[in-house]
Structure 1
Amino acid sequence: MIVNRREIKYSISEVDYYRYLNLFNTILKVDPHSKEGSYTIRSLYFDTPMNDDYYSKMSGEEVRKKIRLRLYDVHTDRVKLELKRKISVNQVKETVWISASDARALIEMKYDVLLKYEEKTAQTIYNIMSLGQYRPVVLIDYDRRAFYHEENNIRITLDSQIRSSETDFDLFSEDVLMVPAFTTYNAILEVKFNGDLFCWITEVLKGRDTVNQSLSKYCLSRSLFDQYLA
């Protein structure tokens, strides 16, 4: 599956989080994947031994990429393997579903497990990971509330309680010790859409304490590397 999207991110305060939450519950439809209003997402990011993707993001390069495993339940038997590419303001996300056992193999840098999949995305990711000797670098959890509007496939998410581990990469464990990505309360509001964004949504996003900026949970969560190892 390949998805082409535009994406805008905002850092918001706790006050604005609840203000937007109440507003979006009124004017948008709640994502059907939300069981009780929110759900937890876990992602394991990979990078090269030289941390090429991290430095590409931090230096603001126009063309960059990230590779990650993603799941929504640690007891699942299927995991998303995703390649995200950013070209200026546009996002292209390629996804292939792999088995939990193959995800464990990738964590151990056994890239050959991807050769059994027929999807072109699996082959692309195999080439990138094997040539770059990608290995896991950070495990991230966060709680998401998601909303959508059918026009232009607009999707708005509120992500909070962002936490990470740079030492434990057990994707399927319930007992990973994680630390907060922010030192004070912050949440991330993301707007993803095709084509143009409605003016009324743009006006809504002009709220207090909201700043449009290039944010990355991946980079935010690599604080240990950034402070002590870089």
Structure 2
Amino acid sequence: MIVVNRREIKYSISDADYYRYLNLFNEILKSDPHSKNGGYTIRSLYFDTFTDDDYYSKMNGEEVRKKIRLRLYDVNTKRVKLELKRKINVNQVKETVWISSDDARSLINCQYDVLLKYKEKTAQTIYNIMTLGQYRPVVLIDYDRRAFYHEENNIRLTLDSNIRSSETNFDIFSENIPMVPAFTTYHAILEVKFNGDLFCWIAEVLRGRDTINQSLSKYCVSRSLFDQYLA
């Protein structure tokens, strides 16, 4: 089980700022050691209740909210991250437990009992939440990430682009899922994650650019079909 406590700030950025930041971060920060050829692709499958409580919690601007998702970096993997992400304003706690790909498929089919075989507290907590709320998969999201870090204060900056989603196909292990762009008004999302305080020189780098500190959510934006036609 992995538990991460940290602050998180997100910015929407233009195409020009994406490449400006990419070049700058390559010069002043270390690249994520997990990156292959400079970056990697992330796939997340989000779950919500039958009454979409987590979606409305976010859209209504509630300070305390949560999300449950499966996450992988390779469709051929045998292990998948199951994550419970809680947020209180800009502060977040992310709990992670690794489960097998077979158990991930069971969760997609709403077979929550597979989590009872795991001894980690996080698995038990997610089992209780999913069972009580009757969670089911609602949206699959892919995006390309360039990640950088500074060891002090565990500072991590990521550039997420080519964000696309599907609200009809939830087979996270498929390589051929038709997807649609999640965002049309800007190019990418810059995320700044850190413990404690953010260094002044990094804050200065972020200041004055074509950015707006927003409460952005790939999950909520990607539920465009639900938002436009089903809500």
Coarse TM-score class (shorter-chain normalised): over 0.9
Distance (whole Å) between structure 1 residues aligned to residue 54 and residue 102 of structure 2: 25
1:186 CA displacement: 1.7
TM-score between both structures, scaled by the size of structure 2: 0.99
Q: How many matched pairs?
A: 230
1:6 CA displacement: 0.2
1:221 CA displacement: 0.4
Q: Structure 1, residues 46-85: CA drift from partner, whole Å, max 9, x if none?
A: 0000000000000010100000000000000000000000
Distance (whole Å) between structure 1 residues aligned to residue 220 and residue 20 of structure 2: 27
Structure 2: give runs of 5+ residues left out of the alignment: none
Q: Structure 1, residues 75-110: CA drift from partner, whole Å, max 9, x if none?
A: 000000000000122100000000000000000000
Partner in structure 1 of residue 206 of structure 2? 205
Q: How does 1:5-154 map to 2 (within 5 A)?
A: 5-154=6-155
Distance (whole Å) between structure 1 residues aligned to residue 25 and residue 44 of structure 2: 25
Q: Structure 1, residues 105-162: CA drift from partner, whole Å, max 9, x if none?
A: 0000000000000000000000000110000000000000000000100000000000
1:206 CA displacement: 1.4
Distance (whole Å) between structure 2 residues aligned to residue 180 and residue 27 of structure 1: 31
Distance (whole Å) between structure 2 residues aligned to residue 185 and residue 53 of structure 1: 25
Distance (whole Å) between structure 2 residues aligned to residue 35 and residue 180 of structure 1: 23
| Letter of the 1:225 counterpart | F
Describe the SS at the equivalent of 2:138: strand
Alpha-carbon distance change, 37 to 207 in structure 1, aligned in 2, over 3 angstroms: farther
Partner in structure 2 of residue 225 of structure 1? 226
TM-score between both structures, scaled by the size of structure 1: 0.99
Distance (whole Å) between structure 2 residues aligned to residue 123 and residue 155 of structure 1: 29
Partner in structure 2 of residue 167 of structure 1? 168
Q: Structure 1, residues 154-201: CA drift from partner, whole Å, max 9, x if none?
A: 000000000000000001000000000112442000000000000110
| Letter of the 2:200 counterpart | C
Describe the SS at the equivalent of 2:38: coil
Distance (whole Å) between structure 2 residues aligned to residue 125 and residue 66 of structure 1: 10
Describe the SS at the equivalent of 1:25: helix
Distance (whole Å) between structure 2 residues aligned to residue 65 and residue 208 of structure 1: 30
Distance (whole Å) between structure 1 residues aligned to residue 185 and residue 48 of structure 2: 27
The percentage of aligned residue pairs carrying the same residue is: 85
- Aligned alpha-carbon RMSD (Å): 0.6
Describe the SS at the equivalent of 2:178: coil
1:220 CA displacement: 1.0
